[in-house]
Every structure is written in C-alpha cells, then in structure tokens.
C-alpha cells in the first residue's frame, strides 16, 4: 500500500530526528547540565519511537524501546537520581535503538545484546522484567484485556456474584451501567455506549431515572441516571467489556446490580430525591433513549448555554501561532516558483529599457517595488527552509565522549553560535564534514595528556566549534589547542609520494593545506578514528561540490583551526554578469573583491605566456576570460574582476564588459548535463538566455593546465 | 463532520489523519495540546482525538482546558494513547475525556466509534 509506505518513510525520518534529540538530551544529562526538559525530552523521544513502531508492528523495536523508556521514566519520576544515571549505558542503549530502527527500516532483524537488556532492566528496577514487555502496554485490539474482563476485578460487593464463564451461543448478558455524577461533563451521550453494544447483538435498554432530583434542584450537567442493558449475543462477556471500557470506568459498569446493594449498604442520600420519571423500557436502543438522555444530558451536539455561565475561565494560551510541518518538496516547489519570478522580473526590467521615456517612469517605479517584493518573498521562503545548526551541533558532545574513550584523551568541547540558521539542505550536508573535522582534531590535533603536560598545557584539550553568518555564507570553525600540523612531515611525505616536486618549498599555508590532499595522512599508525588518509580530501571534495570551501590555519605547538564556509542556500546567488566575446558569465558576488579598469601598464608578462597584474604593490595572476574560452579578438579586455579563490588570494580576470549585477537562480548542470571544469552551474538571464556561473576556485588550475573553458554549446551539448 | 487530531509524533498523526480523511472526515491537525487549543478555537471541531503524552500541553491538560471553555463542554474527546493504566484513565475521565483508546489503534474500530458520535 502506497500511502502506508509513505507514512513508514515519514516514521523513519522522524526516528532520525528523535535519535538526534535523544543523544542531545542524554549528553546534557551526562555533563551534569541537564534540565527537566532534557529528561522529559529523552523520555518523549523514546516514547514516540515506540509509539510509531507499534503502529507498524515492529515488535523488536517496540520491546526494546519499552525497556529503554522505563529507564528514562525512572529518571523522570526521580526513582533514579539524575546524578546517578548510567549515561554511557543509556547512550549505548540509544545506539542499539538506532540500530534496531535501521534494521526495521531495511526489514532486517538484529540481535540485541543480553547485557544491555539486563542493564536496562536493572535500572528500571524490574519494571520491565516481563519477558514480552511490549504486550502489557499494547493491548491488542483483537484480544480484550483478560485481567479486567470479569466482575472479579470489580468492587468487593460484586465479588460474591458468580461469574458465568465464556458464553455459549446466544447468551443473554445483563450490564448495569452506573455512571458517575460527572458523566455528562465528559461529553458522553449514552447512546454511544448503546450503539457500541448493539454491534454485539440485540439489546434491550432500561433507564432508571428514579434518582433524578426535583427539577428545581437539578443541575442539568449532573447525571443521575442508570441504565440496565440486556444483550442477546453470541459474543463473550469480554467483548462487552471491550465495548464499554473505552467510555466507562471500571466502577461505572458491572454485570451484577451493585448499585442496589451499595444503596442499601451506604444509605446514599439520593433516596430523598423523589421519583422523577420511572422506567422507560425499550427494545430499540437509540430512539427512546434519545428521549431519556436529555433528562440531564447536554448531548454531544449542543452544549447548553447555561454550562458557559458556570464554567471556569477559559485557559489562557500564548498568542503566538503554533508550528506545522511541511514537506520539503512543497517548499522546493515554492522556491522554484520564486526563482521563476526572479527571472521574469529581470526580463521585465530589461524590457523597460526599450519603453518610451514617458511611459517608462511609472513602469520602472512599479518594477522597483516588484523587485523588492520578490526579494522579500524569496527571503521568506528561504526562512521557512532555514534550520539552526544546533540540529548538527547537538550530536557533537556525544562524539567527543566516544572519541575520548577510544583515544584515551580528554577534551573540553565548547559550542558557539548553535542558533545560526542555514538552509535545511546545507544543514544536512554539514554533518559529515563537521564530524570529520572534529575527529581529525581529536585524533591528530590534540596530544595525549602526558605530552600536553610536558608542553606546559592543561592535560585536557579544548575544541571549540562555532558557527556564524558572514555575508551570504555560513562559517563553521573547528579550533583545537593541540600540536598543530606537522609541516615538515607533511612536506616530506608529499615529496616522497611525488605529490610535490623534490625541490619545491611550499609556503606554510600551502604545506598545511596538503592535509586536504588525497592519500596523505601523517598519523603514525592508522587508527579506526581518522587515520585512513581518506578523510580530509573527501571532506574537501564534498564541501566544494556544495559551493563551499574549507581551509586550515595551523600554529605549530599551539593548535589548528579548520574553517568551513558554505553558502546559506544552494538555490539562488547574487551574481555579477560579465561578457567575454559574445558570451556572458556569472561570477558569484561573494567571491568578488573588486572590479577596475585594466591599466595595461600594470600588467607584467611572465615566461610561458602568463601575466601578472600589479595590484597596489601586490601581485595577482591575470587570466583572460576570452583566452580561457579560446576566443580570438583584437585588443585587451578593458575590465578586470578581482576575485578571491581558495588557492590564490587574489586572482585577476580580464573581461570585456560588466553587464550588471543581479540575483540569479542556480540551475544545476550535473543533474541534466555533466560536470564541467570551471563552471559550477548555469542560470537563465533576463533575456531568457542561459549563462554559466563560474567556479572561480577552479579557474587558476584550469588556466595553468592550458585547458579551455567550454563554450555554452559545448557545455550544454546543444546549439544555443 | 470535523475532527481535530492531535499527536506530537508525526507518523501517528499522519496515520490517524489519513485514516480519517479516507473516511471523508474533515480533519484539522495539531502537534500538541497548546496548538490543539488554538485549532479548537479556530475550527470548532465536532470531535477531538488526542494523544496523551505530548510536549508543551499534554492530552489531559488539553482536555481540561477544552472542558473549561464555554463551547467545549459538549465535544467528545477521545484519548488515543499507549497508556492503559487505571490511574491515568481515571485522571483522563476526571479531566473530561469521553473515550479512551489504546494505541496502536485499529482504524476500523476507531471509525466504528466515530460513527456512533455522528448520530
């Protein structure tokens, strides 16, 4: 069934969220900074996982979650003091839970270690000792609860009455319904109960209104009535219980006339009430009883106005609205539409230029408003997609604890800027690189305690992970106070592997950035934490694929700082549109440092056909966009755009013209075409034509290699 | 007939809402009791189905709050929960809950119950 499969997927997605929350809360408990919210939150996360698992009949998951939940409940209820919580065991249980979820998702089954089960049971204090823990909570709807099925479970007065065993064919079962006075305040219409019983067979209802007081002293909200229902049924008494127990408390129904006995025994005061209406007999349940009920029932349809008068004041609720969940797909569609509007709007702007002056003025005004509103619309849609990086950060304390154990090091984790928001897709992509960076810092950065003491540092290392907005990017920094990068070793290794020419002398920055090189790892031995040498280069590749960059700054002996910069969104970017020959290109505005007229006097040719631009005493390699494209033209390109790239701090790119600056909608090429070196994506400009968005970080390498940028038709494989 | 469905677990809410929508009920969703109260005021549901264990405002508190509203006394509230203890059920009744159903719910049974409220 399609719909069910879909809900299943939602469930498993939700499980991931719950696991994340759970770990965050458990970590807080472990650090001794737990608030009651953490304990409740942890409980609720497991509880919710269990609830969903029950819906999909994932028995193993239900059983384990139930045990786990019982432990958290022990914390919640104070049976186990929070300070004494065996956090490691709970974290481990979280892992097992996660594994079970993963297994359930794939339809597999995984064994659960008896040790953890035992530990959980010990903590919960035998509460979960029942071998099939799930069953006591999930009463199967097909099997009515046997424990409270019979009158044996009823008050003592009825205990004497012989309880007939399971009925044979078409027995007559008599039920005494004796509601509490507050019955109608539960918005129950007795007809609901009769209807439920009617499912079982023919019924005959007798209403006893003898205890209804005189009208002058009657509160219409009180229930003074009792009913006797005789059911002609082939079903067992258990089914009757099942039909009743949804609505009635155990004390409110019985299979023997306890009321008469009770009245006699207790001498209840409503004996004084005069008999109001006597008995109403009926063989059809709902019609006559519909008349009987209104005696005192504000029936479900309309509450009497009088109730309002006596009702306590309405509970105050916060004025701020609630939240809803929306499919990401829907927001994506919205975002796409906004993108289309941005394009249409720039098309309109372009057309405005050809209008007669008189008409143009008011048109342009309207266009400005449209542009502003479009921008606002886009910001708002983006805000919908934004999530705080906390979602990822909250997983880190846990990771550090684990690494501490594995590596035998101590580290103090400091988190900052957890509320920094970024597009949901970016948040998701953030986790892997961040975890890798943290692992790297723990494993390679921080020294063992002895070594730290010898170096005059505190035995515990400090790792700081921070997030902040910088322009249209988010910057995530992972800073450690460890030994820093061992440059000599890195250079030596790079040379021995032929990654660097033997006689080269890389700058400190270049040396440090070698750690992003595929196949380089300076760890003495490969550890299972981060020593496989496939780490940082993969991180870098993934980050770059997102239009981000990662850099490292190291101070030998003092520590190391990884900086991860990512765009806030992948959907739009502010771009500068330039022309080279007949083609137009887009530079991401975030990488542009400045633009200027090209002064031919400041260009110095280097051997090999390359040029250098003198830039206020500094030098920048100069690329010519036409040349990159293989366009032959007379004369120099008159404009230079100075961009900042990852490898070259200042890169000058000569172009023919700056066409304008505008927001462009990023259309990914790879999904439709292929990856193109030097091009990160494409966009549609105001005139409806396509322009390529340049990947400035790839340009220096492209130019050095002598390869050319592809033209539009080459890129798209079609004539444009 | 309009039903307000409250559950903080998305999966269960989804399951519940789809069941109800498939049976042509007009469904209003809420993620917790507080949101449920706001929806209650805005949408005037004929029936409420709520989870018990929820953040912000739980099912019992929600029920109590609805019952204290002038327009909330006659609306049946079904508590749909994994809890089946007598104590918690009594607390629910005291707050004003109409019926109690134990999760995981059997869609047919729930729909059966709802048809009884319809009349």
Range scoring the smallest mean pLDDT among A264-273, A363-372, A572-581: A264-273
Report domain extents, chain B.
Answer: 2-118
pLDDT > 90 fraction of chain B, expressed in percent and rounded:
34
How far, in Å, CA of A273 to CA of A269, rounded? 8
Q: Mean per-residue pLDDT for A164-176?
A: 65
Whether CATH 1.20.120.160 fits A2-137 = yes
Question: How many Cβ pairs closer than 8 A exist between chain A and B?
Answer: 167
Give the mutation candidate from B19, B33, B99 for the A interface (greatest A CB count, under 10 A).
B99
pLDDT of residue A715: 64
Q: Mean per-residue pLDDT for A297-304?
A: 40
pLDDT of residue B3: 93
Average pLDDT, rounded, for chain A: 75
pLDDT of residue A673: 65
Comparison of pLDDT for A283 and A217, the residue scoring more: A217
Please name the residue of chain A whose CA is at the shortest distance from the CA of residue B53.
Answer: A44
- Is pLDDT above 60 for A182? yes
- Is pLDDT above 60 for A525? no
CATH code for A389-567? 3.30.565.10
pLDDT of residue A441: 87
How far, in Å, CA of B100 to CA of B53, rounded? 14
Q: What is the ipTM, given to two decimal places?
A: 0.79
The string of pLDDT tens digits covering residues A556-607 is: 888 999 998 887 776 777 789 999 888 889 998 878 888 988 888 888 888 7
Q: pTM of the entire structure?
A: 0.42
Q: In this structure, which CATH number among 2.40.30.20, 3.40.50.2300, 3.30.300.30, 3.20.20.210 belongs to the domain B2-118?
A: 3.40.50.2300
Instruction: Report whether A430 contacts A391 (CB < 8 A).
Output: no
* CA–CA min distance B25, chain A (Å): 16
Strand order, beta sheet including A690-694: A657-665, A572-580, A583-588, A690-694, A679-684
- Is pLDDT above 90 for A464? yes
Q: Is A105 on the interface with B (CB under 8 A)?
A: no
pLDDT of residue A519: 65
How far, in Å, CA of A628 to CA of A641, rounded? 15
Q: Is A144 on the interface with B (CB under 8 A)?
A: no
Q: Which of residues 9-38 of B touch A (CB under 8 A)?
A: 9-12, 14-15, 18, 29-32, 34-35, 37-38
Instruction: Report whether B93 contacts B76 (CB < 8 A).
Output: no
- Sorting pLDDT into bands at 50, 70 and 90, what band is A257? low
Q: Mean per-residue pLDDT for A328-351?
A: 79
Comparison of pLDDT for A449 and A272, the residue scoring more: A449
Please name the residue of chain A whose CA is at the shortest distance from the CA of residue B58.
Answer: A44
* CA–CA min distance A86, chain B (Å): 25
Q: Mean per-residue pLDDT for A398-411?
A: 86
Residue A604 bridge partners (DSSP): A612
Range scoring the smallest mean pLDDT among A147-151, A386-390, A550-554: A147-151
For B7, the token pair is: 């559950």
Please name the residue of chain B whose CA is at the shortest distance from the CA of residue A134.
Answer: B82
3-state secondary structure A135-176: HHHCCCCCCCCCCCCCHHHCCHHHHCCCCCCCCCCCEEEEEE
- Is pLDDT above 60 for A31? yes
Range scoring the smallest mean pLDDT among A159-163, A413-417, A494-498, A616-620: A159-163
Comparison of pLDDT for A101 and A523, the residue scoring more: A101
Residue A691 bridge partners (DSSP): A683
Q: What residues of A are in contact with residue B87 (Cβ under 8 Å)?
A: none
Among candidate residues A548, A571, A417, A546, the one with its CA nearest the CA of residue A473: A548
Q: What residues of B are in contact with residue A195 (Cβ under 8 Å)?
A: 115-116, 119
pLDDT of residue A478: 92
How many C-beta neighbours within 10 Å does residue A434 have? 23
The string of pLDDT tens digits covering residues A313-332 is: 444 444 445 667 777 788 87
- Sorting pLDDT into bands at 50, 70 and 90, what band is A529? very low
**Close Cβ partners of A362 (under 8 Å, ≥ 6 residues apart):** none
- Sorting pLDDT into bands at 50, 70 and 90, what band is A261? very low
For A188, the token pair is: 């129950």
Please name the residue of chain B whose CA is at the shortest distance from the CA of residue A248.
Answer: B99
How far, in Å, CA of A677 to CA of A707, rounded? 9
pLDDT of residue A685: 80
- Is pLDDT above 80 for B72? yes
Q: Which CATH architecture has domain A572-716?
A: Roll (2.30)
Comparison of pLDDT for A416 and A533, the residue scoring more: A416
Instruction: Report whether A657 contacts A335 (CB < 8 A).
Output: no
**Close Cβ partners of A79 (under 8 Å, ≥ 6 residues apart):** A125
Is there a cis peptide before residue A299, judged by omega within 30 degrees of 0? no
Comparison of pLDDT for A545 and A587, the residue scoring more: A587
pLDDT of residue B45: 92
Q: Which segments of A556-650 are extended strands (E)?
A: 559-567, 572-580, 583-588, 592-597, 603-605, 611-615, 618-624, 639-643
Range scoring the smallest mean pLDDT among A18-27, A455-464, A637-646: A637-646
Closest CB to B68: pick one of A182, A196, A315: A315
- Is pLDDT above 80 for A490? yes
């Amino acid at each position: 069934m399609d719909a069910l499969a879909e809900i299943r997927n939602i469930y498993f997605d939700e499980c991931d969220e719950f696991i994340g929350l759970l770990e965050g809360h458990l970590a807080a408990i472990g650090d001794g900074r737990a608030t009651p919210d953490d304990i409740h939150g942890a409980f609720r996360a497991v509880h919710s996982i269990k609830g969903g698992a029950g819906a999909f009949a994932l028995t193993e998951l239900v059983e384990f979650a139930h045990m786990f939940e019982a432990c958290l409940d022990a914390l919640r209820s104070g049976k186990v003091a929070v300070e004494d919580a065996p956090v490691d065991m709970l974290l481990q249980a979280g892992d097992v839970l996660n594994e079970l979820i993963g297994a359930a998702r794939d339809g597999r089954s995984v064994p659960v270690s008896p040790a953890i089960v035992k530990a959980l049971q010990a903590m919960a204090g035998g509460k979960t000792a029942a071998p099939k823990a799930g069953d006591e909570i999930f009463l199967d709807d097909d099997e009515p609860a046997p424990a409270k099925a019979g009158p044996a479970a009823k008050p003592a007065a009825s205990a004497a009455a012989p309880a007939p065993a399971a009925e044979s064919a078409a027995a007559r079962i008599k039920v005494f319904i004796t509601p509490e006075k507050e019955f109608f305040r539960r918005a129950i219409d007795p007809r609901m109960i009769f209807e439920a019983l009617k499912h079982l067979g023919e019924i005959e209802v007798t209403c006893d209104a003898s205890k209804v007081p005189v009208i002058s002293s009657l509160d219409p909200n009180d229930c003074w009535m009792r009913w006797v229902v005789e059911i002609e049924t082939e079903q067992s008494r258990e089914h009757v219980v099942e039909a009743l127990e949804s609505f009635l408390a155990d004390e409110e129904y019985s299979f023997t006339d306890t009321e008469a006995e009770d009245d006699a025994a207790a001498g209840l005061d409503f004996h004084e009430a005069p008999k109001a209406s006597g008995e109403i007999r009926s063989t059809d349940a709902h019609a006559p009883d519909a008349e009987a009920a209104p005696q005192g029932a504000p029936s479900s349809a309309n509450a009497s106005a009088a109730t309002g008068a006596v009702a306590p004041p309405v509970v105050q609720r916060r004025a701020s609205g609630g939240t809803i969940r929306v499919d990401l797909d829907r927001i994506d569609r919205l975002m796409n539409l906004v993108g289309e509007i941005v394009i249409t709007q720039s098309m309109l702007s372009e057309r405005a230029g050809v209008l007669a002056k008189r008409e143009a003025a008011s048109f342009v005004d309207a266009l400005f408003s449209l542009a502003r509103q479009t921008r606002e619309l886009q910001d708002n849609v983006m805000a919908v997609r934004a999530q705080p990086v906390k979602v990822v950060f909250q997983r880190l304390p846990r990771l550090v604890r684990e690494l501490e154990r594995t590596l035998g090091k101590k580290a103090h984790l400091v988190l900052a800027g957890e509320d920094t928001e970024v597009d949901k897709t970016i948040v998701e992509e953030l986790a892997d690189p961040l975890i890798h960076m943290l692992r790297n810092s723990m494993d390679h950065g921080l020294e063992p305690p002895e070594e730290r003491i010898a170096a005059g540092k505190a035995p515990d290392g400090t790792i700081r992970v921070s997030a902040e907005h910088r322009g249209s990017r988010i910057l995530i920094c992972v800073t450690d106070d460890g030994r820093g990068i061992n440059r000599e070793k890195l250079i030596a290794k790079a040379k021995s592997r032929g990654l660097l020419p033997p006689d080269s002398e890389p700058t400190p920055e270049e040396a440090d950035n070698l750690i992003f090189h595929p196949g380089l790892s300076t760890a003495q031995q490969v550890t299972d934490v981060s020593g496989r040498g496939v780490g940082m280069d993969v991180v870098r590749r993934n980050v770059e694929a997102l239009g981000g960059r990662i850099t490292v700054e190291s101070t030998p002996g003092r520590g190391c700082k990884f900086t991860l910069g990512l765009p806030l969104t992948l959907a739009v970017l502010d771009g500068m549109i330039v022309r080279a020959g007949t083609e137009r290109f887009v530079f991401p505005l975030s990488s542009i440092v400045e633009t200027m007229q090209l002064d031919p006097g400041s260009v110095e040719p280097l051997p090999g056909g390359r040029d250098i631009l003198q830039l206020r005493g500094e030098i920048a390699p100069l690329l010519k966009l036409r040349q990159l494209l293989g366009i032959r033209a007379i004369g120099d390109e008159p404009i230079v755009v100075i961009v900042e790239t990852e490898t070259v701090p200042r890169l000058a790119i000569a172009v023919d013209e700056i066409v304008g600056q505008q927001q462009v909608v990023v259309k990914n090429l790879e999904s439709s075409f292929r990856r193109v070196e030097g091009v990160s994506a494409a966009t549609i400009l105001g005139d409806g034509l396509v322009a390529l968005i340049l990947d400035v970080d790839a340009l220096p390498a492209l130019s050095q290699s002598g390869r050319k940028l592809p033209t539009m038709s080459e890129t798209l494989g079609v004539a444009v | 007939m309009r039903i307000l469905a409250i559950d903080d677990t998305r999966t269960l809410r989804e399951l519940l809402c789809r069941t109800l929508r498939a049976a042509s009920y007009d469904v209003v969703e809420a993620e917790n009791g507080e949101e449920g109260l706001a929806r209650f005021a805005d949408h005037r549901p004929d029936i409420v189905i709520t989870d018990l264990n929820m953040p912000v405002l739980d099912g019992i508190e929600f029920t109590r709050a609805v019952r204290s509203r002038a327009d909330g006394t006659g609306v049946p509230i079904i508590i749909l929960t994994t809890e089946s203890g007598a104590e918690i059920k009594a607390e629910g009744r005291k707050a004003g809950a109409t019926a109690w159903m134990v999760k995981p719910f059997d869609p047919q049974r729930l729909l059966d119950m709802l048809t009884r409220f319809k009349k």
